[in-house]
Amino acid sequence: MQRIVIVGGGAGGLGVATKLGRKLGRRNKAHVTLIDCAESHVWKPLLHEVATGALDIGIDAISYRGHAAANGYHFQQGRLEDIDRGRRQVVLAPIHDGDKELVPARRIDFDYLVVAIGSVANDFGIPGVKRYCMFLENTEQAMAIRKILLNRFLRYASHEQLDEKIKVAIVGAGATGTEMAAEMHHAVDQLAGYGYRIDSSLLDVTLIEADKRILPKVSHAQISESVARELERIGVQVLTNTRVVEVTDKGITFQGGYFIAADIVIWSAGIRGPEFLRDIGGLETNRLNQLVVKRTGQVTRDERIFAIGDCCACPQEDGSWVPPRGQAARQLGHLVADNLTAMMKGRAPAKEYVYKDLGSLVSLSKFHTVGNMFSFLGGGVMVEGKIARFAYLSLYRRHLIEIYGPVRGLLLVLLKSLNRIIRPHLKLH
């Protein structure tokens, strides 16, 4: 039986494992295995809600083992360390609990491999970023931010009001940074109803962007302008054309010598592939450590290895590269699953990826939602308000329906909607 291994359980990797598990695994046409460092999946665009407590991962996370059992694939927990192309094996690092080794290093055989391990933050070599900044790349990091924020807010739970502000700096004004800034203000508003003597005037959030405008990757400047106005209205200080040159435990220094104090610095500026990808399996990588793939999704040096999502660089017809966006990972994942199925039947991978920009939506929590839909159709249509909010929520609902199937997915969407009504709006522990 052919062995298919998918490394990385993000939206793209989990989507491939689910599709191949249902199509091949259940019918005993292939042995499909998903590998991930974590035990459960949380949709990455919602990590800022995990960080503020608006999303409870105990309820909203998807257990890989449970999902695997229901969808015809297998799950192994572990971190990719190397690819042995000669033996057709992936090498997983040992799993430790402190100094104790729980699971030794392992090798898992494959006939076909899909690498979908995502990206890490790009610190651009700036001094102090790795040491003093917090990141929002996975559930563990989101939970670490939430713990620090709640500890800070705990000081305001007494009956005596404190005058000092909580100073938060967010570097990088892409979708993650802008949504995080708004979500923090929403969290403060919610905490006021749980006995915390705090209001938004005691939260000092600064959003920093090196480009001339926030959301620089969004093609429509009107969206950036609308989001910037709303952020400033709710009290977020927005700095553009501002380059960070150093981060310390006291705050951030910018080009030109300007300094701002910060208790917490969250870094969301730029992405790159994990460092180890440069030396893995002798595969071709670019300057950002991303695996270079052909438009079929196959890496350039091995037709049996595919890569999807932010960890890969995929060319387009015009010579540009597919942008590192969630919709691109999903689209390429579906194409790779189809090409891989064709190869197992002895056919060449016929499909080539053409990126289709479905648009951009930015949700500033309860305050404002704006975006552009169907960008591939003559520039698309700009939406905001309730229509934009409905479209934004629909993205996550579509993800659930794809992962769970139409019936279970729709029931889960209904259950989550009910939970939003009957449960506290914030997870406070």
pLDDT cut 70: percent of the chain above it: 93
pLDDT grade for 332, boundaries at 50, 70 and 90: very high
Among residues 321, 344, 367, the one where a domain terminates is 344
Residue 222 has a pLDDT of 87
Residue 426 has a pLDDT of 55
Among residues 270, 286, 314, the one where a domain terminates is 270
Domain shared by 109 and 206, yes or no: no
Domain shared by 246 and 305, yes or no: no
Strand partners, 307: 115
pLDDT at 253 over 80: yes
Residue 358 has a pLDDT of 84
Residue 69 has a pLDDT of 96
Q: For the domain that residue 85 is a member of, what is the CATH number?
A: 3.50.50.60
Pair 83, 305: CB distance under 8 Å: yes
Cα dist from 246 to 170, 211, 249, 298, 309, whole Å = 14, 17, 10, 39, 30
pLDDT at 191 over 90: no
Question: What are 259-274's pLDDT values in tens digits?
Answer: 999 999 999 998 999 9
- The tokens of 181 are what? 């800034």
Pair 215, 182: CB distance under 8 Å: no
Task: Identify the CA nearest to 168 among candidates 184, 156, 155, 183.
Answer: 184
Among residues 207, 240, 270, the one where a domain terminates is 270
State the average pLDDT over residues 93-115.
93
pLDDT grade for 174, boundaries at 50, 70 and 90: very high
Residue 150 has a pLDDT of 79
Judge whether 46 lies within some domain. Answer: yes
Between CA 342 and CA 315 the distance in angstroms is 22
**SS3 state at 384:** strand
Q: Over the chain, what is the mean pLDDT?
A: 89
HSE-CB of 373 using CA atoms within 13 angstroms = 12
Domain shared by 89 and 114, yes or no: yes
Q: 394-414 burial, b if ≥16 CB within 10 A, otherwise e?
A: ebebebbbbbbbeeebeebbe
Domain shared by 248 and 279, yes or no: no
Name the residue type at position 103. V
State the average pLDDT over residues 402-421.
84
Q: How many domains are there within the chain?
A: 2
Task: Identify the CA nearest to 171 among candidates 306, 93, 266, 88.
Answer: 266
Domain shared by 53 and 72, yes or no: yes
Domain shared by 265 and 139, yes or no: yes
Boundaries of domain holding 91? 2-119+273-344
Domain shared by 40 and 93, yes or no: yes
Pair 289, 328: CB distance under 8 Å: no
Domain shared by 103 and 139, yes or no: no
Question: What are 128-161's pLDDT values in tens digits?
Answer: 999 999 999 989 999 999 888 877 777 766 655 5
Query: Which pairing describes strands 74-77 and 237-239: parallel, antiparallel, or unpaired?
Result: unpaired
pTM of the full structure = 0.91
Is the CA virtual torsion 217, 220, 224, 227 positive or negative?
negative
State the average pLDDT over residues 164-176.
91
Between CA 374 and CA 392 the distance in angstroms is 13
Domain shared by 107 and 159, yes or no: no
Residue 193 has a pLDDT of 65
**SS3 state at 283:** coil
Strand partners, 208: 171, 239
